[in-house]
Chains A and B, each alone.
Chain A
Amino acid sequence: MPKREANLPEGTRLTNGVKIGRYRISNSRVQCECCNEVMTITNFSRHPKTGKGTPYDRVRIVDTGLSLTEWTNLSTNNPPVFLVQYSDQPDRESWVQPNQLLMSEIQDYFTRGATLVKTEDESPLPPLIESRDPSDDMSEEESDGDIDWGDTSFSVVFTDWTSLPAESIGRIIAFSGYTGWCSLRSVCRKWREMSDQAYYNLCRLMPPARYTQALQKKTHVTSSTESQTDLAMRDRDALCKLKDKN
């Protein structure tokens, strides 16, 4: 079975500087629970009323349909995702609470970190999180031991969403039909390969008449004057030829 999570132990630092591990947060600081390294999030403005350093003007609150724990995409050739996971599992209504705003900023950093990885030739973005020594630059009332870290923490884990088991791709196509296959194979290379294989297997298993009937679905995919059946038949033939050739 393909492994979805890479075997990256806590403390592993990735090429963009993000480290796998659990973190505690308090105001503008995050502390790694693994090595107690304290990082400060910089460059965000003060709240107009409280003066606290919550990143109100920099936070992207975008309804992507994702929950906070389903997070974003850092990329090289094998796109991983950094998952920022709250210990208290907030629901979406808690998006706008200060801690969550801070989390969004951290998440934004991870996203920008991805850009750093992807565009090595370009000038790197200034870091939003600056690593520093725990004892360095602490105010008097905020010595390391006095920080109230609260009970909100998050984890950074390495996730590869593309690694759905190949068997499941076949099932998903069986449930979503021809257009499901079209959409799936257009997402990324890995899914394209798995989708084509699954589709080919469906072709082999199904008698043509049943097959075309099975894959007829009213969906957004079509552009030409060809009917879904025509397209399905042509795709099926093309795939079979491709497989025979290989």
Chain B
Amino acid sequence: MASESISVTTSDDQTIQLSRKHAQMSQTINSMLEDSVGADQEAIPLPNVSSEVLKKVIDWCTHHENDPAPVEKVKKLNKKREYKAKNSTISDEWDKNFVNAELRVIVDILLAANYLDVKGLFELMCKHIANELKGKTPDQIRERFGIQDDLTEEDKAAMRKAWGATKNDS
């Protein structure tokens, strides 16, 4: 019988136990588990995820462990053919609190969710970042994310010509 908990090793060499249910919310870990059926259960290495971030991911999985599986959601979405821009409102109060973190942490969780393939968490982080971007000029986005403007004047002129001016260009 499969063990009820899974050991994973994080990028900072911490070994963390997580329940099989939570582990299976990650398609990446789930695939690893399926590939290693019958093999000795060694800790699964997660070289791209730190223990700090993994704990956040587990927190999120714990809160959402009874949510419908993402596959079911996709099927529903396809059936309705709802090809419209998604609503970025975060309605779950717990999620609102969860994303109320430093941008560094948000990006780390986003990267972890992408690597671990935890779809709901990935969506939440993207939604939050989209909300961060909304209504901001490119200048403000650069400032928020600490990104240098490496677009040349020629680039910007071409963009203005092709796409129309933005508030930022005025």
A residues with a Cβ closer than 8 A to B are: 1, 3-4, 64-67, 69-73, 75, 77, 79, 81, 83, 85, 159, 161-162, 164-165, 167-168, 171-177, 179-180, 182-189, 191-192, 205-207, 210-211, 213-215, 217, 219-224, 226, 231, 235, 238
- Of the listed stretches B1-9, B18-26, B31-39, B136-144, chain A binds B136-144
Does B85 interact with chain A (Cβ within 8 Å)? Answer: yes
CB pair A73 B146 closer than 8 Å: yes
Is B127's CB within 8 Å of the partner chain A? yes
| CB proximity of A197 to chain B, nearest CB, Å | 16
Interface residues of B (CB under 8 A from A): 48, 83-88, 102-104, 107-108, 110-111, 114-115, 122-123, 125-127, 129-131, 133-138, 141-151, 155-156, 159, 162-168
Q: How far is the CB of A217 from chain B (nearest CB, A)?
A: 7
**B136, A183: Cβ atoms under 8 Å?**
yes
Contact call A182/B126, Cβ cutoff below 8 A: no
Whether the Cβ atoms of A213 and B166 lie closer than 8 Å is: no
Number of A-B contacts (CB under 8 A): 161
Q: How far is the CA of A180 from the CA of B114 in the complex (A)?
A: 21
Could you tell me the distance between the alpha carbons of A67 and B137 in the complex, rounded to whole angstroms? Answer: 20
Contacts of A167 in B (CB 8 A): 114, 122
Give the distance to chain A from B76, nearest Cβ to Cβ, in Å: 17
- Please tell me if the beta carbons of A164 and B146 are within 8 angstroms of each other in the complex: no
Among the listed B85, B87, B129, B136, which residue makes an inter-chain contact with A215, where contact means beta carbons less than 8 Å apart? B85
Distance, CA A6 to CA B130, complexed state (A):
25
Cross-chain contact B104 with A69 (CB below 8 angstroms): yes
Task: Tell me the minimal C-beta distance from A168 to chain B in angstroms.
Answer: 5
Q: What CA separation (Å) do A173 and B48 show in the bound complex?
A: 25
Whether the pair B164, A213 counts as a contact (CB closer than 8 A) is no
Most buried by A among B107, B115, B143, B145: B145
* Residue on B nearest A4 in the bound complex, by CB: B111
